[in-house]
Amino acid sequence: MKLLPELHANLVKKAIESAQAAGDLPQFEIPDIPITPAKREGQGDYACPVAMALAKVAAKKPRDIAEMIVKHLPKADFVSHVEFAGPGFINFTLSQKWLKQQIEAIIVEGEDYFSLDIGAGHKAQVEFVSANPSGPITIGRSRGGIIGDTMARLLEAAGFDVQREYYFNNAGMQMVMLGKSLKARYLQALGQDEPLPEGGYQGEYLIDFANELADEQGDALVNADWKPFKEFAEAKMFEWIRDSLAQIGITHDNFFNEDSMFQDGSIWAVLEELDERGYAYKATEWAGASDEEKAKAADREPAVWFRTTAFGDEKDRVMVKSDGIPTYTLPDIAYHKNKIERGFDIMVNVLGADHGQQYKVVQMGIEALGMDPSGIHVIINQMVKAVRQNPETGELEEIKMSTRRGVYDTLDELVEMTSPDAIRYHMLARSPSSHLNFNVEEVVKQSNDNPVYYIQNAHVRCCGIAREAEARGLSDEGADISLLSDEELAFIRKALEMGEVIETAVNQYEPHKIAFYAQELASTFHPIYDNVRALGEGIPEDVTRARLRFYHAARIIFKRVLDLMGMSAPERM
RNA sequence: GCCCCCGUAGCUCAGUGGAUAGAGCGCUGGCCUCCGGAGCCAGAAGCACAGGUUCGAGUCCUGUCGGGGGUACCA
């Protein structure tokens, strides 16, 4: 579909050029022309405030500038009326005839009508979730998953060729600990009095794994070290994680293992290159360390440092520890180098706030390698706090998250209590930068009255009408769309904003915008459903036919917006 | 201490520097013999504080206060 703000902006641009050529406006450089959907009745459909911004360079009053622009505005089939108003706004009204034509176009093209070509020929990658396989997916991780998956859907709608990737590390100390923890549980399952290692994983899921392992293997592994346990736990955990995510419609195209970069040596190649470029050095403490820091580091073996201070960091960072094992910094840089080399134009990285600072070091690393980091975009989502209402005080209180034995801590438990659609919507309907209070009870208890079903019900209603029409042997073929009223067209107008919403969400990496748009779209629809009956006594057949056509288009529109959010579009509720 | 995020209605949250700051929940009052009422209509209620930039600030800058996260030779 065409983006209406862009089309309007082009008209304004031509009008200014034409006014300048005619001497109605002085010469000046034409700035970017902002076009916004009108905010209220009587202000047309789209507004342009550019005249106010031009007042200075044109040395004229905003209203006079607006008048000149309107005077020189070229004709366009989608605009029926233009006026200047207020302090200097130019208000455009969409043509009714054109709007009605869009109904046919939507039905002919289907959901593809709402696709853009801004990403055509470009590859995009979204990396999200990326949890190491040491425990089940938590509510907090789900947020990043939903944001990432929705971002991917929006990029696809914008025309990008999208890959969803999951980056994981199964080689670190955490995984060793997981193996050791499972071994302890395994020995316990066999009746031995074996304590968990210090700092081990206390999650009850390891008890289940251990029982399973004991059933399968008997006591064959009593003398094994942590490795087979780690491998068993890892395989089980990944299966679990993938199942959990699949429940809410999240899948990945590629799982990228950090370890593969150790095996192919690319990590060491990056280190060498950083060294050649003068960004690495070996020392016991960083180059600008204070005396205090130096004293602390006195008895350490040297480590390899990354000179991030060259890029404005407050201190240099360790890349390779004194024991020869890299910290996460080096693999992260190597990973992003790898991404760039795979030829993505856009790489979106969804991170939780607890990892949020790390991307800066990665960016410095990419720059240090002489590569262009501008294709990398980070969405940092703030933490999720599961809350519920205290029955005594009425206050919202936090439900403590614990991977050990929290009540509401895993995605699985949440799915059990609510529904995938409810989880997706509520997680999505917040700006990523906003701290999320996820009120479990609200999503559960009030589910009959929440926006999730409000939006889906719009689709259900369209389906209901179609079903009823079919039962009565009525069809919308050959409908005379001109019989529709302003009310229906107001909805179509709102539906046409979907392209702008997708564009903005993609350009600004803010997938939550689609969730709010969907709610607005539904609230434009439901009053019409109430007022504009398609079927019923006293409604002329040609009017019925036209209205059926309208609801047909509306059904496609809601299907599309629900798809974009990864939600189901039920036909009945 | 320093860095990042947040502070908008009773609650949960929207709000690309533009016209009269929006929605959901909750609350109050109306509307159903209707294509499924999981709906519609109406009402009360708000930009943490202080400066600054701008023709115009919830939005940008500085500071203060409050909340969250980070600040490891953990990931």
pLDDT of residue A400: 62
**Residue A123 token pair:** 């590859």
Residue A544 has pLDDT above 90, yes or no: yes
Å between A441 CA and B40 C1'?
27
pLDDT of residue A149: 97
Would you say A529 and A461 are in contact if contact means Cβ atoms under 8 Å apart? Answer: yes
Which run of H or of E encompasses A444? Answer: helix A440-445
pLDDT tens per residue across span A307-322 = 999 988 888 999 999 9
**Residue A345 token pair:** 């134009």
Residue A338 has pLDDT above 80, yes or no: yes
pLDDT of residue A447: 64
* Residue range(s) in chain A whose domain bears CATH number 1.10.730.10: 100-116+450-564
Using the CB atom, is residue A47 less than 7 Å from strand B? yes
Contacts of A204 (CB under 8 A, 6+ apart): A404, A405
Residue that has been written with the tokens 């009593």 in this structure: A222
pLDDT tens per residue across span A276-300 = 999 999 998 888 888 878 888 878 8
pLDDT: which is higher, A532 or A449: A532
Residue A486 has pLDDT above 80, yes or no: yes
Candidates A406, A523, A539; CA nearest to A468 is A539
pLDDT of residue A446: 56
Give the three-class secondary structure for A47.
strand
Report residues 171-200 of A contacting strand B, contact meaning Cβ closer than 7 Å.
Answer: 172-174
Mean pLDDT of A205-233: 94
Residue A70 has pLDDT above 80, yes or no: yes
pLDDT of residue A200: 84
Residue A408 has pLDDT above 60, yes or no: no
pLDDT: which is higher, A203 or A542: A542
Using the CB atom, is residue A13 less than 7 Å from strand B? no
* Residue with CA nearest to B72's C1' atom: A318
* Residue with CA nearest to B71's C1' atom: A357
pLDDT of residue A394: 67
Candidates A171, A178, A191; CA nearest to A226 is A178
CATH number of A4-94: 3.30.1360.70
A209/A199 Cα distance (integer angstroms): 19
Report residues 55-84 of A contacting strand B, contact meaning Cβ closer than 7 Å.
Answer: 55-56
pLDDT tens per residue across span A174-211 = 888 999 999 999 999 999 999 998 878 888 889 999 99
pLDDT of residue A359: 87
Among the residue ranges A130-144, A157-171, A287-301, A341-355, the one predicted with the least confidence is A287-301
* Residue with CA nearest to B16's C1' atom: A504
Using the CB atom, is residue A457 less than 7 Å from strand B? yes
ipTM for the predicted complex: 0.94
Å between A109 CA and B5 C1'?
42
Predicted confidence band of residue A399 (pLDDT cuts 50, 70, 90): confident
Nucleotide nearest to A396 (CA to C1'): B11
pLDDT of residue A290: 80
* Residue with CA nearest to B13's C1' atom: A430
Predicted confidence band of residue A402 (pLDDT cuts 50, 70, 90): very low
Q: What percent of chain A has pLDDT over 90?
A: 72
pLDDT of residue A124: 97
Would you say A73 and A12 are in contact if contact means Cβ atoms under 8 Å apart? Answer: yes
A269/A169 Cα distance (integer angstroms): 19
Residue A546 has pLDDT above 80, yes or no: yes
Residue A357 has pLDDT above 60, yes or no: yes
Report residues 340-399 of A contacting strand B, contact meaning Cβ closer than 7 Å.
Answer: 353-358, 380, 382-383, 396
Å between A311 CA and B66 C1'?
33
Predicted confidence band of residue A105 (pLDDT cuts 50, 70, 90): very high
Nucleotides of chain B touched by protein CB (<7 A): 2-7, 11-16, 18-20, 22-26, 34-41, 55-56, 67-75
Using the CB atom, is residue A442 less than 7 Å from strand B? yes
pLDDT of residue A407: 45
Using the CB atom, is residue A260 less than 7 Å from strand B? no
Q: What is the mean pLDDT of chain A?
A: 91
pLDDT tens per residue across span A446-481 = 566 788 999 999 999 999 999 999 999 999 999 999
Residue A65 has pLDDT above 80, yes or no: yes
Contacts of A352 (CB under 8 A, 6+ apart): A140, A141, A143, A144, A380, A381, A383
Å between A210 CA and B2 C1'?
45
* Residue range(s) in chain A whose domain bears CATH number 3.30.1360.70: 4-94
Residue A445 has pLDDT above 70, yes or no: no
Candidates A360, A364, A409, A366; CA nearest to A380 is A360
Q: Looking at the DSSP assignment, which residues form a beta bridge with residue A379?
A: A350
pLDDT of residue A405: 43
Å between A313 CA and B69 C1'?
19
pLDDT of residue A406: 37
Nucleotide nearest to A326 (CA to C1'): B73
* Residue with CA nearest to B2's C1' atom: A314
The CATH number of A100-116+450-564, from 1.10.730.10, 3.30.930.10, 2.30.30.40, 1.10.260.30, is: 1.10.730.10
Using the CB atom, is residue A453 less than 7 Å from strand B? yes
Report residues 300-319 of A contacting strand B, contact meaning Cβ closer than 7 Å.
Answer: 300-303, 314, 318
